Amino acid sequence: MADLTEDGAAPAEGGQEDQAALMAEWEAVAAEDGEGEDGQDGGLMSGSSTRVLDQSEIDSLMGVDGENDGDGDQSGIKAIVNSALVSYERLPMLEVVFDRLVRMMSTSLRNFTSDNVEVSLESITSWRFGDYLNSIPLPAMLTVFKAEEWDNFGLMTVDSSLIYSIVDVLLGGRRGTAAMRIEGRPYTTIERNLVERMVHVVLGDLSAAFDPLSPVSFRFERLESNPRFATIARPANATIVAKLRVDMEDRGGRIELTLPYATLEPVRELLLQMFIGEKFGRDSIWEGHLTAELWQTDVAIQAVLEEVELRLSDVLSWTEGTRLELNCDPSSKIQLRCGEVSMFDGQMGRSGSNIAVRIANKLVISEEMN
């Protein structure tokens, strides 16, 4: 029995050693395959090491990169969240309106300040209204204005640099000297009044810029210095923000125009067109030309006393002397027609040596009502 046990134990021990060696060989082959397929990242499969994202990669993933101030392209989770915002590029006519505004403001602000003023359009971007209010650098003046025909509001932001520059220019400051800035104090009444005058000039130009597209009057509502009191839309609402740069030689600043999409909704169809007078728009020049030509057009009018329906065979059998009886008399009404359309009813008479018709009523209106 002892021999059998020893003989039987020896093979069992040898089998366990062979299995252990075989498993070690398999693990080595699997590790080599993992390194060959994944390269340097093969260690992630074994679980021996875990790679941790650094702060820059986390910022890029979240879409809050510090180098991006909101003017560039968004990425990561922030781009997904803001994907509901409509890009201004879907409203191509809006860029034409702002280009027209820049040209008009350059002229009007030169006349307003009696100085050399250059206005340029920096960018047109889409923002959520709450994010834009939080991004306004303070101190600043915020003007709330109303679009009368559209029955909604807009916002104009004037930064502190432009405020001090306008005050300096209008009160006779020297050229070549930077405007003095005193931070940490509220704006005085003089400064508010001077900025309000400039705002009225800009709003007038903005109304004129929209005139070829759709007549609208932008009316000044109030001037605020706290963004919380200039809320014209919900924080999540989409808005168009146009940033304008105003340069007066070595002085100047920014004006930012904010128009919620709800404000532009009445003219959205017009803003979708590629040029003025396209399928959706109205061309005032063409309308005026067409109206002038229509007033000079000659129209043939027929005076019909009576009509009788006959067969063609009866008409072909007419000979000289055939009589056609009409059921009318000199007091019967006459219809004045333009082509196949009856225009007026009238009474036949005489004016001098000419036969005349006195118009009694208009038939076109009655036919349209029916």
Q: What is the pLDDT of residues 259-274, one digit of tens each?
A: 998 898 888 888 877 7
**Residue 145 pLDDT exceeds 90:** yes
Q: From CA 233, how far away is CA 130, in angstroms rounded?
A: 9
Same domain, 103 and 151: yes
Residue 9 or 150, more confident: 150
Could you list the beta-strand ranges (E) of 237-327.
Answer: 238-248, 251-260, 302-304
Same domain, 234 and 350: no
- Output the pLDDT for position 80: 64
**Residue 4 pLDDT exceeds 50:** no
Beta pairing, strands 302-304 & 140-147: unpaired
- pTM score, two decimals? 0.54
CA triple 138-107-141, angle to 5 deg: 15
**Residue 350 pLDDT exceeds 90:** no
**Residue 26 pLDDT exceeds 80:** no
**Residue 178 pLDDT exceeds 60:** no
Per the structure, the count of domains in the chain is: 2
Residue 84 or 57, more confident: 57
Report which secondary-structure segment, H or E, holds 301. none
For residue 4, tell me if it sits in a domain. no
Rounded to an integer, the average pLDDT of 91-103 is: 88
Beta bridge partners of 356: 349
Residue 1 carries which DSSP code?
-
Rounded to an integer, the average pLDDT of 331-351 is: 83
- Output the pLDDT for position 77: 63
Domain range holding 359?
298-310+327-370
Same domain, 254 and 363: no
Distances (CA, A) of 247 to 136, 169, 284, 305: 20, 12, 34, 76
Q: Angle, nearest 10°, between helix axes 92-113 and 189-210? A: 140
Please give the share of the chain, as a percent, with pLDDT higher than 90.
Answer: 16
- Output the pLDDT for position 95: 87
- Output the pLDDT for position 86: 52
Q: From CA 275, how far away is CA 212, in angstroms rounded?
A: 11
Q: Which of 46-50, 179-183, 296-300, 316-320 has the lowest mean pLDDT?
A: 46-50
Rounded to an integer, the average pLDDT of 232-261 is: 89
The torsion of the CA quartet 214, 255, 248, 70, rounded to 10 degrees, works out to: -120
Same domain, 131 and 201: yes
Q: From CA 96, how far away is CA 237, in angstroms rounded?
A: 24
For residue 77, tell me if it sits in a domain. no
**Residue 124 pLDDT exceeds 50:** yes
CATH number of the domain within which 113 lies = 3.40.1550.10
Residue 226 carries which DSSP code?
S
Question: How confident is the model over 224-238, as pLDDT tens digits?
Answer: 888 888 888 888 888
- Output the pLDDT for position 242: 92
Q: From CA 52, how far away is CA 56, in angstroms rounded?
A: 12
For residue 72, tell me if it sits in a domain. no
Could you list the beta-strand ranges (E) of the chain.
Answer: 118-128, 140-147, 152-159, 218-224, 238-248, 251-260, 302-304, 333-338, 341-351, 354-362
Neighbours of 251 (CB within 10 A): 23
Beta pairing, strands 140-147 & 341-351: unpaired
Same domain, 348 and 255: no
**Residue 251 pLDDT exceeds 90:** no
Distances (CA, A) of 131 to 64, 74, 227, 233, 269: 13, 14, 11, 12, 27
Q: Which of 31-45, 135-149, 182-196 has the largest mean confidence? A: 135-149
Residue 88 carries which DSSP code?
G
Same domain, 351 and 237: no
DSSP codes joined into one string, 47-71: TS------HHHHHHHHT--TT--SS
For residue 98, tell me if it sits in a domain. yes
Confidence of residue 115 (pLDDT cuts 50, 70, 90): confident
Rounded to an integer, the average pLDDT of 302-320 is: 85
For residue 320, tell me if it sits in a domain. no
Rounded to an integer, the average pLDDT of 270-285 is: 64
**Residue 66 pLDDT exceeds 70:** no
Same domain, 94 and 169: yes
Beta bridge partners of 142: 157, 224
Residue 38 or 127, more confident: 127
**Residue 257 pLDDT exceeds 90:** yes
**Residue 20 pLDDT exceeds 80:** no
Rounded to an integer, the average pLDDT of 4-19 is: 53
Burial per residue of 117-149, b for 16 or more beta-carbon CB atoms within 10 angstroms, e otherwise: bebeeeebbbbbbbebbeebeebbbbbbbbbee
Residue linked to tokens 């340069």:
247
Q: Which of 105-114, 196-205, 287-296, 326-335 has the lowest mean pLDDT?
A: 326-335
Q: Which of 39-48, 176-185, 320-329, 357-366 has the largest mean confidence? A: 320-329
Rounded mean pLDDT of the chain?
77
Same domain, 192 and 277: yes
Rounded to an integer, the average pLDDT of 132-145 is: 88
- Output the pLDDT for position 3: 46
Same domain, 265 and 306: no
Instruction: List all residues 6 or more positions away from 128 whose beta carbon is below 8 Å from its beta carbon.
Output: 82, 85, 235, 236, 237, 238, 239
Residue linked to tokens 């220019």:
169
Same domain, 231 and 364: no
Tokens coding 163: 């405020």
Same domain, 113 and 140: yes
Nearest to 225 by CA among 192, 254, 257, 251: 192
Same domain, 345 and 280: no
For residue 5, tell me if it sits in a domain. no
For residue 99, tell me if it sits in a domain. yes
- Output the pLDDT for position 336: 85
For residue 163, tell me if it sits in a domain. yes
Give the chain's radius of gyration (CA, Å): 41
